[in-house]
Amino acid sequence: MSSPARPSAAHGWRIGSLAGTPVFLGRSWPVIAVLIVVVFGPNLARADRGPEYGYLLAAGYAVLLLVSVLVHEAAHALVAQWRGHPVSRIVADVWGGHTVYDATRSSPTTTALVAVVGPLSNLVLAGAVWALNTVVTNETAHTLLGIVAVANLLVGLFNLLPGLPLDGGQIVSALVWRATGSKGRGLVAAGWLGRVVAVLTVAWFTLRLVSSGRTPDLFDLVWPVAIAFFLWQGATGAVRAGRIHVATAGRATDVLEPLVLVAGTSGLAEVDDALASGTWVAAADPAGWPIGVVDRDSAAGVPEAVRERTSIASVTLAQPAAWVVPLEADAVLTDLIQVMSERELSLAVVVDAVSRDVRGLASAERINAVVGAELGRRTRR
């Protein structure tokens, strides 16, 4: 027995779970449901069934479309879990739906597998519904199943188009990633293809409308533009993410600044030379654990006469215990940024993951400067 769906401020209404993954109905989903009923209701009306028949049929289609979306996203989620990636949530929203999973340690193969099963599930569902439609005798059920089968066929094929944010774009991204060894280049290539798909979508709808010879209605004009806008936005986001990924693919050690670690009970005069050269100084507790960085302004304000007996700890800005970040020797900047983001750190003492030797200090300010300069250099190419 399931508990009633409750609203979630972030994701919508929780309507269930799949293999431990919460499933949400996004707050934007009613928008697409109402649009389906309003647009398709009059077209499905029957003179012998009353005016409400078409709207009820359209509402039934909206419900079955939601089921189709959840099947699509469930396929993504199950394969992601199978490949060892925790899945945070499944959400059905106004653009169809999305599955959020931890792709930190993903690979081109996993990315492609997770992507392809979504549209394949729609194609399989289209075939199953079409087969069921051949044996039903009820006219309403026959009409509704036919619509759902065609919709799943179109959704499956459309999602296989080779451009992000579509699943086909994820496959292209994975192939480029595999060929070049760069995830960022895969995202950029698939993002640019996504922009091409967005333009071609508008062109296809326009040519189809012109060739039909009929006067376009509001739906004819708004729908293709809305789809193209969604594709263009997603593709642009992919290009940007790809460029950032490429810019952060260098070694994490390249952004580290020199760091001197001394006991917090030591006199401030002991680190005057380091502070004068701009080197970071961190105070350590009796066990040798870094507890914070010396505030250069506070240190500069200590009179010369008392600097030897002023403890470093007294001019230290305390940092959280999580600011000590162990990294592998071959870690890339992306890894460091992710850890600092997850722990909400502006400063981090980086230590070797094996020896625990201090490698240096990472600051969000320097990382942003390095990444910004690299992005600017690549944009000017």
Tokens for 51, please give them.
Answer: 């005016």
Indicate which residue of 52, 73, 257, 365 is catalytic: 73
List the one residue out of 246, 244, 252 whose CA is nearest residue 332. Answer: 252
What region does 92 belong to: left with phi over 0, alpha with psi -120 to 50, or beta? beta
List the one residue out of 368, 274, 270 whose CA is nearest residue 311. Answer: 270
Residue by residue, DSSP assigns 317-367 as: EE--GGGEEEE-TT-BHHHHHHHHHHTT-SEEEEEETTT--EEEEEEHHHH
| CA–CA distance, 296 with 315 (Å, rounded to integer) | 8
DSSP state of 312: G
Q: Using an 8 Å Cβ cutoff, are 116 and 167 in contact? A: yes
Active site residue 342: no
Q: Parallel, antiparallel, or unpaired: how do β-strands 98-101 and 324-327 relate? A: unpaired
Q: Using an 8 Å Cβ cutoff, are 12 and 24 in contact? A: yes
C-alpha 145, offset from chain centre: 34
Strand order in the sheet with 87-92: 7-8, 12-18, 21-25, 87-92, 98-101
Kindly list the catalytic residues. 73
